[in-house]
């Protein structure tokens, strides 16, 4: 019998089994069930069909209205009302109202609700973000969320894994976003379908927690079930700061764990990377063609659960400081949570943005999913730090999204063309 991957160990522990193997169907106990303002109303309606009443544990459910809040229209307001009333009725501890909310995947780790060794499901595909802390977390739909809220359990097919050995260290203006775009460009949007993406190697220690959140966040864009990082001193320091006193468990992959594929990625060799429309796998680097420098843009968005954290905001501010957003470009900056917003304010970053001619918004998903706060008209182009550039994702069916890091997005705002920071004077 061969060893288990990190993901498999967490699943086995939560299913009460000493071991599991890829392909096995299991039922496991959940540490946290998450939903937002789009997925929760569907789940709440499903829950009404249950014979048993109420939720399995009011402390182990997180409800975060973030997609269309502050409400963009009457229907969204009705959905949020439904979530708010459900939270009240069931005395949900972790319901985050406008004013306390942030984009769910930035908010939950910050609030200490996700720690190493946890098994988490969320009715949102980017729930895989918490793998940065060594948790097994994965996106599900509303019915799974409903059953999770009612029973505290979910069914899983145990995934096999792909291992990414990271070596070296990132260069200036290259960040976690470039790492994950590089990987998706290499394996494709279904390259890790049904599988875990497990990160390992000495290169991990040089990555900031914010870089790791960005990388784990976009595991789903490679089709993966989850992305997961080993738990090192940085991860432990993060949890001690954000979840003081909360028990966490460190799992390590067995030496003889089996991987479907292994890749080695030298972080030192990575360059600013951009995913062209209309798939995250459609990646290019700036030295590849000269066409990449001639792409005229209309809008820049810096934010989302992928790149709305403090490192991202600082990086963008570093580039925009003393510069101006190019004429005719709308540059929209969205810190992902209230505390990131406040931190940015205290560091004087908001002033830098406003002086540069950018707008700064309260936390919201907004433009990332084409909700509001920056919808594209027909034929328009946007450089965005979000995670999906599908047809129509941010507005008109024939608009275009270029996915990039905060550094590339900020530099592009200054030039008005898709640009990397080294091009700025």
Report the interface residues with other proteins, using CB under 8 A.
25, 38-39, 41-42, 45-46, 49-52, 67-68, 72-73, 75-76, 79, 122-125, 127, 139-144, 146-147, 150-151, 155, 189-190, 193-194, 220, 223, 225, 279, 369-371, 388, 390-393, 397
Enumerate the H helices of 295-398 as residue ranges.
304-307, 310-320, 338-346, 349-356
Is the CB of residue 3 less than 8 Å from the CB of residue 244? no
Burial classification of residue 122, based on how many CB atoms lie within 10 Å of its CB (0-12 exposed, 13-18 middle, 19 or more buried): buried
* Piece in contact with ligand SF4 (CB under 6 A), picked from 97-105, 173-181, 282-290, 391-399: 97-105
State the minimum distance, in angstroms, from the CB of residue 223 to other proteins: 6
Spatial CB neighbours of 63, under 8 Å, sequence gap ≥ 6: 34, 35, 36, 40, 83, 86, 87, 92, 94, 95, 96
45 contact, one of ligand SF4, other proteins, none, CB 5-8 Å limit per kind: other proteins
Nearest to 359 by CA among 303, 420, 404, 319: 303
SS3 150: helix
State the minimum distance, in angstroms, from the CB of residue 365 to ligand SF4: 3
# binding residues, ligand SF4 (CB under 6 A): 13
* Piece in contact with ligand SF4 (CB under 6 A), picked from 26-34, 41-49, 231-239, 362-370: 362-370
Q: Is 126 in the site for ligand SF4 (CB under 6 A)?
A: yes
* Pairing state between β 153-157 and 25-29: antiparallel
Is the CB of residue 339 less than 8 Å from the CB of residue 107? no
* Piece in contact with ligand SF4 (CB under 6 A), picked from 219-227, 243-251, 318-326, 363-371: 363-371
Spatial separation of the C-alpha atoms in residues 423 and 425, rounded to whole Å: 7
Q: Which of 304, 307, 337, 385 contacts ligand SF4 by CB under 6 A?
A: 304
State the minimum distance, in angstroms, from the CB of residue 139 to other proteins: 4
Spatial separation of the C-alpha atoms in residues 72 and 151, rounded to whole Å: 33
103 contact, one of ligand SF4, other proteins, none, CB 5-8 Å limit per kind: ligand SF4
Q: Which residues here bind ligand SF4, judged by CB under 6 A?
A: 67, 103-105, 124, 126, 304-305, 365, 368-369, 386-387
């Amino acid at each position: 019998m061969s060893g288990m991957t990190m993901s498999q160990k967490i699943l086995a522990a939560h299913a009460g089994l000493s071991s599991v193997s890829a392909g096995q169907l299991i039922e496991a106990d959940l540490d946290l069930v998450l939903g937002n303002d789009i997925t929760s109303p569907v789940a709440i309606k499903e829950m009404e069909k249950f014979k048993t009443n109420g939720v399995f544990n009011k402390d182990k459910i997180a409800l975060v209205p973030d997609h269309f809040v502050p409400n963009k229209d009457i229907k969204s307001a009705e959905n949020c009302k439904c979530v708010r009333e459900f939270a009240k009725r069931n005395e949900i501890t972790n319901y985050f109202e406008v004013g306390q909310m942030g984009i769910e995947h930035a908010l939950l780790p910050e609030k200490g609700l996700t720690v190493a060794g946890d098994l988490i499901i969320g009715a949102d595909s980017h729930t895989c973000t918490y793998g940065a802390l060594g948790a097994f977390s994965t996106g599900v739909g509303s019915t799974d969320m409903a059953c999770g809220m009612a029973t505290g359990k979910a069914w899983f097919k145990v995934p096999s894994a792909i291992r990414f050995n990271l070596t070296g260290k990132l260069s200036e203006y290259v960040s976690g976003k470039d790492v994950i775009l590089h990987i998706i460009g290499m394996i494709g949007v279904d390259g890790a379908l049904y599988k875990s993406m497990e990160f390992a190697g000495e290169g991990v220690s040089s990555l900031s927690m914010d870089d790791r959140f960005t990388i784990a966040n976009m595991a789903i864009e490679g089709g993966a079930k989850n992305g997961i990082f080993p738990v090192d001193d940085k991860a432990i320091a993060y949890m001690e700061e954000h979840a003081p006193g909360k028990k966490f468990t460190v799992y390590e992959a067995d030496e003889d764990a089996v991987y479907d594929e292994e890749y080695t990625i030298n972080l030192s060799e990575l360059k600013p990377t951009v995913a062209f429309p209309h798939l995250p796998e459609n990646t290019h680097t700036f030295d590849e063609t000269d066409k990449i420098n001639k792409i005229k843009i209309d809008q820049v968005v810096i934010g989302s659960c992928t790149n709305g954290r403090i490192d991202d905001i600082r990086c963008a501010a570093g580039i925009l400081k003393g510069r101006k957003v190019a004429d005719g470009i709308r540059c929209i900056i969205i810190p992902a949570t209230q505390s990131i917003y406040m931190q940015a304010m205290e560091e004087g970053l908001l002033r830098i943005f406003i002086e540069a001619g950018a707008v700064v918004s309260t936390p919201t998903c907004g433009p990332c999913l084409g909700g509001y706060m920056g919808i594209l008209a027909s034929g328009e182009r946007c450089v965005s730090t979000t995670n999906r550039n599908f047809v129509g994702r941010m507005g008109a069916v024939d608009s275009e999204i270029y996915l990039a890091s905060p550094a590339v997005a900020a530099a592009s705002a200054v030039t008005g063309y898709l640009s990397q920071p080294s091009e700025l004077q």
